[in-house]
């Protein structure tokens, strides 16, 4: 907002400076020599260039340059509609042993959209020990020891399927999460018919942050994800983003307005976490 007002003040100052020059050129022309006519023509050309520069700055302001960013009403409505059906919706988080096609599910979590309560949170023992792959656990806060003592996926799967039956699943990166669930269902011969919504693209469009992660947007809202970003923390981060979109917020609760430039400055985005 301050940059916008500064630009406006500068334009007003320039207009005050130009006014006497315009008044001078508005004086009736008396008998003039060719040299005097050429001088006045050059002054008018220089004056026209200054006025054109002022008009360009005014047009930029008219097109929104420097104005505070406003939330997008269509995406506000999208989030509000999602919260309207919150009783039948869960936020989904999945931890896996990697991002390769053979990655195994390590944790399944469901958070109720209505009130943020955890309704399902189960660690899963992989078929291969994670003791030799500690790097795969860097970002999710899991340990090889707790996974070794967890039940296998075939024991966890029936309860998870029961919880998700008839529910809308909301996920940051839905395509990846559904691919893991579908692969698990095929392996266990118990497919999971899931209906889902991807939060990632609507949130990026709403905040106008094309490549932002969930952690980036949570940080914009004043509630950064912890390190490591556990599945419960990420699920609550998704809920934070949905509620912020529904309320028309673009930043922390105590800052209802931010400069568009601040929201677009991505030089502080954290690349140390994949979420």
User: Would you kindly state where each structural domain of the chain is located, as residue ranges?
Assistant: 2-62, 73-264
Q: What is the pLDDT of residue 101?
A: 78
User: Is the confidence at residue 268, as pLDDT, over 50?
Assistant: no
Average pLDDT over residues 62-71: 79
Neighbours of 82 (CB within 10 A): 20
Residue 274 confidence class, pLDDT cut points 50, 70, 90 = low
User: Is the confidence at residue 264, as pLDDT, over 70?
Assistant: no
User: Is the confidence at residue 204, as pLDDT, over 70?
Assistant: yes
Helix (H), strand (E) at residue 147 = helix 144-148
User: Is the confidence at residue 43, as pLDDT, over 50?
Assistant: yes
End-to-end Cα distance, the chain: 31
User: Is the confidence at residue 48, as pLDDT, over 90?
Assistant: yes
Q: How many helices (H) and strands (E) does the chain have?
A: 10, 5
Average pLDDT over residues 261-265: 43
The top-level CATH class assigned to 73-264 is: alpha beta
3-state secondary structure of 1: coil
Residue 29 confidence class, pLDDT cut points 50, 70, 90 = confident
The Cα 146–Cα 148 span in angstroms is 5
User: Is the confidence at residue 154, as pLDDT, over 90?
Assistant: yes
- Would you say 237 and 223 are in contact if contact means Cβ atoms under 8 Å apart? yes
Which residues, 6 or more positions from 50, have their beta carbon under 8 angstroms from its beta carbon? 14, 18
Q: What is the pLDDT of residue 4?
A: 79
The Cα 17–Cα 26 span in angstroms is 15
| Summary mean pLDDT of the chain | 88
Q: Which of 137, 138, 146, 195 is nearest to 171 (CA)?
A: 195
Q: What is the pLDDT of residue 184?
A: 94
């Amino acid at each position: 907002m301050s940059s916008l007002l500064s630009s406006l003040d500068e334009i007003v100052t320039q207009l005050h400076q130009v006014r006497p020059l315009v008044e001078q050129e508005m004086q009736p022309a008396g008998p003039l020599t060719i040299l005097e006519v050429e001088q006045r023509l050059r002054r008018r050309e220089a004056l026209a260039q200054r006025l054109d520069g002022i008009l360009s700055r005014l047009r930029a302001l008219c097109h929104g340059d420097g104005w505070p960013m406003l939330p997008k009403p269509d995406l506000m409505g999208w989030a509000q509609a999602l919260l309207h059906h919150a009783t039948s919706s869960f936020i989904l988080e999945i931890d896996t042993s990697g991002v390769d096609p053979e990655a195994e599910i390590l944790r399944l979590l469901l958070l109720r959209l209505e009130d943020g309560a955890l309704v399902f949170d189960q660690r899963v023992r992989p078929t291969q020990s994670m003791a030799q792959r500690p790097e795969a656990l860097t970002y999710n806060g899991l340990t090889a020891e707790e996974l070794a003592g967890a039940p296998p996926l075939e024991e966890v799967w029936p309860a998870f399927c029961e919880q998700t039956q008839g529910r809308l699943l909301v996920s940051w990166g839905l395509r990846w999460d559904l691919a893991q669930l579908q692969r698990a269902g095929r392996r266990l011969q118990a497919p999971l018919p899931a209906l889902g919504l991807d939060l990632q693209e609507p949130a990026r469009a709403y905040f106008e942050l094309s490549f932002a992660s969930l952690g980036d947007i949570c940080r914009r809202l004043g509630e950064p994800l912890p390190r490591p970003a556990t599945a419960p923390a990420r699920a609550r981060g998704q809920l934070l983003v949905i509620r912020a979109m529904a309320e028309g917020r673009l930043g922390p609760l105590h800052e209802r307005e931010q400069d568009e430039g601040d929201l677009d400055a991505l030089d502080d985005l954290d690349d140390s976490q994949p979420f």
